[in-house]
Amino acid sequence: MLDYSVNTQFTYGMKKQGDTAADLIIVFVSKEDMAASGGERQWVHQQVDVALRGYYAKSVFKAKPQEIQLIPTLGLIAASHVAFIGVDSAPLSAGRLRDAAAAAAKAAVRVKAQHVDIQLRHDIVIGATGCEPKQAAQALTEGFLLGLYHRKPSKREEEARHEVSAVTWIPEDTLNAAESEALQEEWSAGIQRGVRFAEATAFARDLTNLPGNRLTPEALAEEAEKLAARLNMDCEIIDEWTAAEQGMGGLLGVGLGSANPPRMIVLHYQGAPDNDEVWGLVGKGITFDTGGISLKKADGMEEMISDMGGAAAVLGAMQIIGELKPAVNVVAVIPAAENMPSDRALKPGDVITTMSGRTIEIVNTDAEGRLVLADGLTTAIRRGATKLIDVATLTGAVMVALGDLITGAVTNDETLMQRVVQAGYRAGERIWPLPSDPYYRKQLNSDAADMKNSGGRYAGTITGGLFIGVFAEEKPWVHLDIGGTAFLNKERGWEPKGATGVMVRTLAELLT
C-alpha cells in the first residue's frame, strides 16, 4: 500500500533552553522591509544583516516572491546558514504564505538542514495579513511539506533524498502570556490540519506517478480497499461481471480493448446519519490512456499515466475526510479502466448503452473519460448522492483555454459552483467557471443514438463537461477538468514536476 507519512516534526513557539539548535534559520522579507530597514533593523545577526543589505544594494537579492538568498554564518551563530525568502508586502494571503514556505523547504534541502527555525512576523502570527492564525499555520505547513515532496523513481539503487527532521515556527517576542496561549492552540490546530492535507496530497501524487504497468484498474481498486480498511469506511469493488449485470456499458466499453479488466470502486463515509444530504465525489480512473482505436500521438503519451488524476484526488480527499471525520455523508465513486487498442476495443461508429439507459454513439475512442464518468455518476446517484462533483483529466482543450495554471469547471448550479471555487481559493487551487449555455449541448446531438461522445474541437472542454452533466439527472453538479493542472512538465512553487495531486485539498476544504 502506498503510504506517505510525514516524518518532519512541526512546532510553534519560542525556543527554550535545551532545545536542539537549528542548522538553518529562515526569515521572510519583502522589498518594503529591505527599503525601510535603513541599517537599523536586526533580523538574525548584525554582520549577516549587513551582508544581506549589501546583496540588496547590488540587486543580487531583490526580495522578489519566493526568491532565496542563502548566507553562511561562518560561526557567528549556531546555525550554519540563514536563508532570506522574498515575500510580497502585506497583506499576505494563504496562497502567498504557502509559496513562501515552499521556497523555505527548497532552501532547507539545498543546505541539507535537519532542524529549521522559521521566523514569523507579528502580523502573520496574529492573523493581520489576510488570513486567520489557524489558516496561516495550515498554509505554511502545507507549503513546506509540499515543497519537500519528491517523486519516487524506480531505480536499482535507491536515491538518497534529504529529509528535514524538525521545523519550528518562531513568532516575534511581542505577545503577552494570554495572547501566546490562545495563539498556541490555533497554530497547533492549523499545523495538524496542514500535515494531514499535505500527506493526502502526497499520497495522490504518488498514486498518479505510478507507471501504468503497476497501476492497473485492479491495483487501483486494491489501493482503495486498503485506504478504506485503514479509515473504517465501507468499500465496494464491482468487477466486470457485476458491472455487466448492472448495465455499466460505458465502463465496460472503454475497458474492452485491455487485458486488464475495469473496476467500479465505491467508498462510503457516513458522518451525519440523520442528514439526507449525500455528497457524490466521482473521479476519473483511466489508469492508462492510449486513446484506443483513435490512437494518440507517441510524443508525450508516457504522461497518460496521469489520466487517473481525478481518481487520485478523490482518494486523497477521502483520506482527509476519514481522518478529520466531518459531519457529512459522502459516496466516492471511481470508474477505473485502461483504454487500449485491440481487436476487441470500441470503434468509432459503435453504439453503447450506459447504466442510465442512454445510448452513446462513439465518434472518438479518445473521448473515453466521459463514458466511464457517465456510469460513475449513475452509480453515485443510485447510492444516494444528492450533490455531485466529478474530477477528471478530461480534455486537452482545457490547456488551450487555461494553460496548466487553472482548473476549468462546468456546472448546472451556480451556488454549488461558488462554494467549490471558494474552497479552491482557500486551498490555493484556482478554478475558472466556463459557460454552460444549452446551445453547446446541441453539439452532442447524434443521428445514431441519444448522444455522441464528442462535440468536436470547438468548446471541447465545455461540451465534454456538458456530456457528463446529462448523467447528473438535474441534481446539483460541478465538473472539474484538471487536464492541465494534474501533471506538470516542470516544478512551480509547491507543485512538483509530474503529478500535482490537484483538487485533493479543494475537495477536503469543501467538505470539512
Please check whether residues 221 and 351 belong to one and the same domain: yes
Rounded to whole angstroms, the Cα distance separating 113 from 23 reads 6
Rounded to whole angstroms, the Cα distance separating 337 from 97 reads 39
Residue 185, in any domain of the structure:
no
What is the tally of structural domains in the chain?
Answer: 2
Three-state DSSP class for residue 335: strand
Residue ending a domain, choose from 134, 156, 175: 175
* pLDDT score of 128: 73
Residue 144, in any domain of the structure:
yes
* pLDDT score of 47: 94
Pick the closest to residue 288 from 304, 265, 311, 309 (CA basis): 304
Calculate mean pLDDT across residues 235-243.
98
Calculate mean pLDDT across residues 392-398.
98
The CATH number covering residue 169 comes to 3.40.220.10
Calculate mean pLDDT across residues 291-308.
97
Rounded to whole angstroms, the Cα distance separating 313 from 283 reads 7
Pick the closest to residue 164 from 177, 187, 146, 176 (CA basis): 146
CB atoms within 10 A of CB 18: 5
Please check whether residues 110 and 233 belong to one and the same domain: no
Please check whether residues 218 and 168 belong to one and the same domain: no
**What pTM did the predictor assign?**
0.96
Going 317 to 323 to 327 to 329, the CA torsion angle's sign is positive
Binding positions for Mn(2+) are 284, 289, 307, 366, 368
Rounded to whole angstroms, the Cα distance separating 458 from 331 reads 33
Residue 210, in any domain of the structure:
yes
Binding positions are 284, 289, 307, 366, 368
* Cα–Cα distances in angstroms (integers) from residue 56 to residues 49, 65, 86, 135, in the given order: 11, 14, 11, 31
Please check whether residues 148 and 215 belong to one and the same domain: no
Instruction: Please spell the DSSP secondary structure of 35-87, one letter per residue.
Output: HHHTTT--SS-HHHHHHHHHHHHTTS----TT-EEEEE-TTSSSSSEEEEEE-
Please check whether residues 161 and 237 belong to one and the same domain: no
Place of cell 500500500: 1
Calculate mean pLDDT across residues 286-307.
97
Q: Which amino acid is at 99?
A: D
* pLDDT score of 37: 56
Specify the DSSP class assigned to residue 20.
P
Cβ atoms of residues 115 and 166 within 8 Å: yes
Name the most confidently modeled range: 8-17, 49-58, 85-94, 246-255.
246-255
Rounded to the nearest integer, the mean pLDDT of the chain is: 94
Please check whether residues 156 and 245 belong to one and the same domain: no
Residue ending a domain, choose from 135, 158, 175: 175
The CATH number covering residue 433 comes to 3.40.630.10
Please check whether residues 148 and 279 belong to one and the same domain: no
Three-state DSSP class for residue 166: strand
Residue 35, in any domain of the structure:
yes
Residue 191, in any domain of the structure:
no
pLDDT above 70: percentage of residues in the chain? 97
CA 104 distance to own-chain centroid: 20
Please check whether residues 225 and 161 belong to one and the same domain: no
Q: Which amino acid is at 186?
A: E
Residue 180, in any domain of the structure:
no
Query: Does the pLDDT value for residue 1 go beyond 70?
Result: no
Query: pLDDT tens digit string along 418-474?
Result: 999 999 999 999 999 999 998 999 999 999 999 999 999 999 999 999 999 999 999
> Which element (helix H / strand E) includes 466?
helix 460-470
Please check whether residues 319 and 468 belong to one and the same domain: yes
266: phi then psi, degrees, rounded to nearest 5: -130, 125
Please check whether residues 41 and 119 belong to one and the same domain: yes
Verify whether residue 296 is a known catalytic residue.
yes
Strand 81-86, strand 24-29: pairing = parallel
* pLDDT score of 137: 96
Place of cell 487551487: 429
Enclosing domain of residue 64: 9-175
Residue 338 β-bridge partners: 288
Pick the closest to residue 512 from 282, 330, 388, 385 (CA basis): 330
* pLDDT score of 197: 98
Instruction: Supply 201's cell numbers.
Output: 496530497
Please check whether residues 305 and 426 belong to one and the same domain: yes
415: phi then psi, degrees, rounded to nearest 5: -65, -45
Residue 44, in any domain of the structure:
yes
Cβ atoms of residues 462 and 409 within 8 Å: no
Rounded to whole angstroms, the Cα distance separating 242 from 287 reads 20
Buried/exposed code over 197-223 (b: 16+ C-beta within 10 A; e: otherwise): bbbbbbbbbbbbbbebeebbbbbbbbb
205, 370, 387, 426: the catalytic one is 370
> Which element (helix H / strand E) includes 491?
none
Q: Which amino acid is at 390?
A: D
Q: Residue 124 — pLDDT band, cuts 50, 70, 90? A: confident
Calculate mean pLDDT across residues 157-179.
81
Residue 3, in any domain of the structure:
no
Going 175 to 181 to 186 to 187, the CA torsion angle's sign is positive
Query: Does the pLDDT value for residue 158 go beyond 80?
Result: no
Q: Residue 174 — pLDDT band, cuts 50, 70, 90? A: low
Please check whether residues 440 and 312 belong to one and the same domain: yes
* pLDDT score of 501: 98
Specify the DSSP class assigned to residue 301.
G
Q: Which amino acid is at 376?
A: G
296, 383, 430, 441: the catalytic one is 296
CA 324 distance to own-chain centroid: 17
Verify whether residue 370 is a known catalytic residue.
yes
